[in-house]
Amino acid sequence: MNWAYWNPVKVRFGTGLFNELAGMIDGRRWALVTYDQPIFRELAARLTEAAGAPLVTISNIETNPDCADLSESCRQFGAAAERPEVIVALGGGSMIDAAKVLAASGGDFETVRRHLVEKRPLDAAAIIPIIAVPTTAGTGSEVTSWATVWDSANGSKYSLAHPRLYPETAVLDPALTVGAPRGLTLATGLDALSHALESIWNVNGNPVSANYAIEAAREIIDTLPRLLERLDDEELRARQMRASLLAGLAFSNTKTALAHNISYDITLKSGTIHGIACSFSLPIVMRWAMGVKPQCDAALRRVFGPDLEAGAERLETFLQNLGVKTDPAAYGVSPVEWDRLVDKAMQGERGRNFIGRLPAKAA
């Protein structure tokens, strides 16, 4: 078995590291990408006091960065008096993804659109470095080289990817996640679990990614239910953020697989939040992966124990106990639509990463 693992992101993890962010900017001209919300305006003010004012602040992005909003973001970015030398992305995965679009855009979203739609190459030398500061524990975008771009007007989803889009530095300060509400904590936590498991039943899996994924999945299954009952527990927040990081380091090399490809249509169809949309099908997909490759089964046994069918049942119960319905019908999908959706997902970019075999009724 030939394999390789590579991740160039400098990771810094620890409570209070936000206070050291100005030193990481290190006098460079910088731009800020963040939410237009009180807590983020407060954090931006603290950072500005320490690092000086950003050349431009982009704050028009919400969940699931969309082409329409990103076009305006790039226009604002390109209108800065000088070209930023580094971008600070402060927020959840949507902010980090938006920062990657800005970093590749040269101030013009058309550059990114042509790359996504027409496959025109990006100018690698023009991509601006990113310092990623996640305030949620789930997306792993701080250690990956791609960003999700939604085109809701046309019912499409794209993945922007380039090796230069790995952030320069990922700053993981668990204190920044303490204020996240239950719903967000649940969705992002399950997104991280999906990243971990999907990197296990993946054609691109390798021993390094598997070790990261196994540890991440075990930790999330142990930590997330308790965290949802004690949202202000800083130790549990740190454990969940560490697990999310490990899942990110796993799928940074494998990418995701079938459950994520299924999720895209679920989100476009019903607006189901990403972390739920990509996790509700995990027990179904796990059963399709079982028995296909010894390496995958061995990794899953390290997460769920020797009886994998019992492990799939345990995973289903875990999700249901958190309030997540695991029947596709709960998301407005009939059995016939489900079969069609799964078949379509298997042909998708992420679906082709899946090692498993579908039963006849879903083929």
Beta strand pairing status for 146-151 and 86-91?
unpaired
Residue 147 and residue 281 share a domain: no
Residue 220 and residue 136 share a domain: no
The tally of domains found in the chain comes to 2
Give the pLDDT band (50/70/90) at residue 362.
very low
Domain boundary residue, one of 175, 208, 226: 175
Domain that holds residue 215: 182-362
State the CATH number of the domain containing residue 241: 1.20.1090.10
CA distance 101 to 307: 44
Domain boundary residue, one of 127, 144, 175: 175
Residue 350 and residue 212 share a domain: yes
pLDDT tens digits, one per residue of 166-216: 999 999 999 999 999 999 999 999 999 999 999 999 999 999 999 999 999
Residue 90 lies in a domain: yes
Residue 209 and residue 194 share a domain: yes
CA distance 17 to 175: 9
- Confirm whether pTM is higher than 0.75: yes
- Count other Cβ atoms within 10 Å, centred on residue 2: 4
Measured over all CA atoms, what is the biggest interatomic distance in the chain, rounded to whole angstroms?
61
Residue 3 lies in a domain: no
Residue 207 and residue 143 share a domain: no
Residue 258 lies in a domain: yes
CA distance 238 to 14: 8
pLDDT tens digits, one per residue of 275-325: 999 999 999 999 999 999 999 999 999 999 999 999 999 999 999 999 999
Residue 196 and residue 144 share a domain: no
Residue 212 and residue 167 share a domain: no
Residue 154 and residue 235 share a domain: no
Domain boundary residue, one of 175, 205, 225: 175
Residue 4 lies in a domain: no
Residue 152 and residue 215 share a domain: no
Helix H or strand E segment including 133: strand 130-134
Residue 31 and residue 154 share a domain: yes
CB 34 within 8 A of CB 59: yes
Residue 62 and residue 135 share a domain: yes
